[in-house]
Structures are given as structure tokens and as C-alpha cells.
């Protein structure tokens, strides 16, 4: 899911201005981390590809970048007027709990995107990519990202998480999304070991199969415990047997 920038309102007449002035270093750090992760993964997947490409890379990647830019703009436009996480101190245990709750609620949002016809209409655009690589990690429809801004605001409101917790989770999530969409071939034993904790390229490749029984699995975006817990984990499909794409116009059951 796309990251939604958090901007606290502050207090008093100068609160909003001072909070906005304090945000750029954090935002620039997140942007820098994202660009670095993208570059490293793009290089790695060019050296050790997991799946054979089926479409011309240049045009496809350019289209993914265009979609990603439009989606980011839609997300930012909607998110700026929604509730933002407050700035306050929290202990380590509270922060860990907040990250886990944010990630678990995102698991449900992803699953709803595959269950609810309106949400699937937008999310299907992400699955229509004919190849799966790091650029797919930024390929989202503007409509999906606009709706996700409302969901992120609901997460913040109902979970009561603070700004630092949201920022930590979002940075971990960004790197995870780029990583598990990448076409990097890890040793199979390493991939399986990592999949006990976080989402991996092989695991998410199954989710991007054009077979409905594959797509209807592996909904995790960061921690895989939620798929293990709900019985939606699937690791038994070899990558060479997969055809990347969307299963159907109807949402998976």
C-alpha cells in the first residue's frame, strides 16, 4: 500500500506552520531510503532474475512509473485533509504493538481488496502487470490509493498510534513492498526461511499468479504471521509454473 505522509496539526496559531516545517527532513529520509532500495533491488533482479520476462521492459516500467506518480498524487491530495497521527512519546512495547496492529489491519484491507467488487476493480490494475518486478511495487491505480488514504486515517484513529510508530511501520512497509515485488532470485532455502517472518519474492509471486486459487493467498504486506494464522499462506507453487497477471474481472472468492 502507498505511504500516506503524516502531518500533525500542532497547537496554537503557529502550530500547523511549525509542524509542516518540521516534516521535510523525515519525508526526505523516507524518499531517499525508498529510492536507494528501488535502485539496489533493480540492480539485483537484473543480475539474478527469479522469473523470465514476457513483456518488453522499457514500456512496461515507464507505464508503472506513470501509474505510480498518479497514484501518489491522488493519495496525497486525499490524505492532506484527513486525520493525522499525533506527535507524542511512546515506549518500545507500545511502538511494537502499534506496528503489529497497523500491519495486521493492512492484511485485512488487502484481503478486502480481493473480496469487495468495487475495491477489486481498482486493485486489479495492480495485478494486470504481465511481469512482476520492483516497478510493480509502485504500480497502483489512483482510485485505490485515494481509498487507501481513508483506510490509513481509520487505522490511525481507531488504533490510536502516534506519528513515530506510523513512520516506522511505513518505512518498513515501503522496503518490504519493493522487495517482495522484485524479481530477485534468492536461494530457495533462504527465501523459505525469510518467508516465516516477512514476505518474499517467491511468496508474493504466487499471489500475482493469474490462477484464482493462487491469487486468493499470501495477503501479507510485511509480516507473514497473518497468513500463517489465517491459513492463507501458500508456498507450494514453483515460479516457473506461474503466469503473472490477474485471474478474472470478478474478485477472487
The whole-number pLDDT of residue 248 equals 74
Residue 249 has what pLDDT? 59
Q: Integer distance in angstroms from the first to the last C-alpha of the chain?
A: 21
Q: How far is 147 from 29, CA to CA, in rounded Å?
A: 25
Angle at 155 between CA 153 and CA 156, to 5 degrees: 65
Q: Give the pLDDT confidence score for residue 29 in this predicted structure.
A: 81
Q: Quick one: which of 214, 27, 209, 48 has its CA closest to 134?
A: 48
Contact 214, 237 (CB under 8 A): yes
pLDDT for 22 equals: 38
- Which residues lie below 8 Å from residue 90, measured CB to CB, with a gap of 6+? 98, 162, 164, 165
- Residue 85: the pLDDT is 85
pLDDT value of residue 2: 41
Supply the pLDDT for residue 163: 93
Q: What is the pLDDT of residue 250?
A: 60
| One pLDDT digit (tens) per residue for the chain, 253 residues | 444 333 333 334 344 433 333 344 467 888 889 999 999 999 999 999 999 999 999 999 999 999 999 999 999 999 998 978 888 888 999 999 999 999 999 999 999 999 999 999 999 999 999 999 999 999 999 999 999 999 999 999 999 999 999 999 999 999 999 999 999 999 999 999 999 999 999 999 999 999 999 999 999 999 999 999 999 999 999 999 999 999 875 665 5
User: Residue 157: what pLDDT?
Assistant: 94
CA 80 to the chain's CA centroid: 20
Distance CA 94, CA 90 (A): 6
Amino acid at each position: 500500500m502507498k505511504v500516506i505522509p503524516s502531518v500533525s496539526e500542532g497547537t496554537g496559531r503557529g502550530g500547523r506552520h511549525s509542524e509542516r516545517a518540521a516534516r521535510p527532513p523525515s519525508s526526505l529520509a523516507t524518499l531517499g531510503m525508498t529510492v536507494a532500495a528501488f535502485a539496489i533491488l533493480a540492480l539485483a533482479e537484473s543480475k539474478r532474475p527469479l522469473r523470465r520476462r514476457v513483456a518488453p521492459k522499457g514500456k512496461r516500467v515507464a507505464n508503472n512509473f506513470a501509474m505510480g506518480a498518479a497514484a501518489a498524487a491522488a493519495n496525497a491530495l486525499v490524505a492532506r485533509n484527513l486525520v493525522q497521527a499525533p506527535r507524542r512519546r511512546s515506549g518500545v512495547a507500545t511502538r511494537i504493538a502499534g506496528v503489529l496492529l497497523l500491519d495486521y489491519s493492512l492484511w485485512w484491507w488487502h484481503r478486502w481488496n480481493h473480496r469487495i467488487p468495487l475495491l477489486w476493480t481498482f486493485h486489479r490494475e495492480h495485478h494486470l502487470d504481465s511481469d512482476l518486478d520492483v516497478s510493480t511495487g509502485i504500480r497502483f491505480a489512483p482510485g485505490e490509493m485515494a481509498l487507501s488514504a481513508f483506510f490509513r486515517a481509520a487505522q490511525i484513529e481507531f488504533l490510536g498510534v502516534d506519528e513515530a510508530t506510523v513512520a516506522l511501520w511505513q518505512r518498513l512497509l515501503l522496503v518490504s513492498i519493493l522487495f517482495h515485488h522484485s524479481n530477485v532470485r534468492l536461494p530457495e532455502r533462504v527465501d523459505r526461511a525469510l518467508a516465516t517472518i516477512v514476505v518474499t519474492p517467491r511468496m508474493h509471486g504466487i499471489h500475482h499468479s493469474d490462477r484464482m486459487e493462487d491469487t486468493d493467498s499470501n495477503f501479507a504486506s510485511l509480516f507473514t504471521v497473518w497468513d500463517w494464522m489465517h491459513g492463507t499462506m501458500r508456498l507450494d507453487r514453483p515460479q516457473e509454473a506461474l503466469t503473472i497477471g490477474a485471474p478474472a474481472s470478478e474478485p477472487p472468492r
